[in-house]
Amino acid sequence: MIRNLSKEMHQLAETALSGKWGRELSDMRISIDDIPGIDEMHNEMKAALGLRRVAEQVPLRILPGERIVGLATMRLGAQHRIPIWFKDRAPFGSISHTTAGFATALEKGYAGIRKEVEKSLVRRDEDDAYGRSFLNAVSLCLEAAGIWHARHIAELDRLIAAEPEGEIRSNYVKVRAALINVPEDPPRNFYKALMSLWFMFSFQRLCGNWPGIGRIDQMLGGFLEKDLADGTITIGEERELVAHFSQGGTKWKSR
C-alpha cells in the first residue's frame, strides 16, 4: 500500500517523522490578564475566553501538497496544557486520553451543537449562575473553533491568490472546497467527513486536549461506501486521503 501513495505524500510523511514540525512548535504567550473582570470568573469561562484568543492569534501552517489541513502549533498544547497564560503561569491542564464525541459532532456539526447549547441556556434557571456560565463557556469554545476555521479559509485564499496556475494551486483549491463548510455543518462526502473529523480532533489538540479519535471505520465508512457506489471517489484516492489524515498525527513530535 505504501508504494501506491504519491511522491508528495512520502515527502510530507518523511518531514513529519523527522520531527521538524514538533521542533517548530510555537512558544507564543497568549495572556488573559487584561480581560475585564477575569479574576471573578469561573475557570471554565477564563479558559474559554483564552481559547478564543488562542484561535485568533496562534500561527497556522498549511503545507504545499497537503490534502488534510489544521495543525496544532502550540508547544504548551503538546504538553497537555491549555496554551493560555494567566498571572505569569499556564494554570489550566487538559483532559486527555478520553474519546470525545466526534461521531455526534459529525452528525450534527458545530451548528447543531450550538443550537443545543442555546436551548439549554433558555431552559436554565436564572439563579443557576455556574450552569449558565458553563454553557456560555461552551458557546465561546464553539466560537473559538469557528475563528480558527475562518483563519484557515482566509489563509487558503491568500495561498491560492499568490500561487501561479499549477498542481500546488489546484490542491489548495481542492482543500478549500473540502474545508469550506465543515465542521460547522455535517459533511456530505468522504473527503469532507475526513477533513471535518481531523479539524475537530486537531482543534482539541491545539487546546491541550489529546483525546482518542474513536471508531473511524464506523464514523466514515458510510461516506466512503456512498462515494464509491456513486463513482465520486476511487480506492486509490481514498487511500491517499487517509494517508494524509494519518500522517497529521506525527506532526507534533520532535526528535
pLDDT at 249 over 60: no
pLDDT per residue over 71-92, tens digit each? Answer: 999 999 999 999 999 999 999 9
pLDDT per residue over 146-173, tens digit each? Answer: 999 999 999 999 999 999 999 999 999 9
Residue 70: other Cβ atoms inside 10 A: 24
How is residue 166 annotated by DSSP? Answer: S
3-state DSSP assignment of residue 237: helix
> Model confidence at 34, in pLDDT bands (50, 70, 90)?
very high
pLDDT at 255 over 50: no
**Cα–Cα distance list, 172 to 12, 37, 52, 63 (Å):** 15, 42, 26, 9
Q: Which residues pair with 85 in a beta bridge?
A: 31
Q: What burial class does residue 25 get, using C-beta atoms within 10 Å of its C-beta: 0-12 exposed, 13-18 middle, 19+ buried?
A: buried
pLDDT at 254 over 70: no
Measured over the CA atoms of residue 157, residue 162, residue 165 and residue 171, the dihedral's sign is: negative
- Nearest-10 Cα torsion for 82, 244, 106, 141: 20
Count how many residues are written for the chain.
255
**Cα–Cα distance list, 223 to 31, 142, 237 (Å):** 41, 25, 14
Q: Is the pTM of this model over 0.85?
A: yes
* Through-space distance between the first and last CA atoms of the chain, rounded to whole angstroms: 27
**Cα–Cα distance list, 34 to 40, 53, 147, 171 (Å):** 13, 12, 20, 41
State the average pLDDT for the chain: 93
pLDDT at 4 over 90: no
3-state DSSP assignment of residue 163: coil
pLDDT at 250: 54
* Domain coordinates in residue numbering, the chain: 19-248
Residue 159: other Cβ atoms inside 10 A: 18
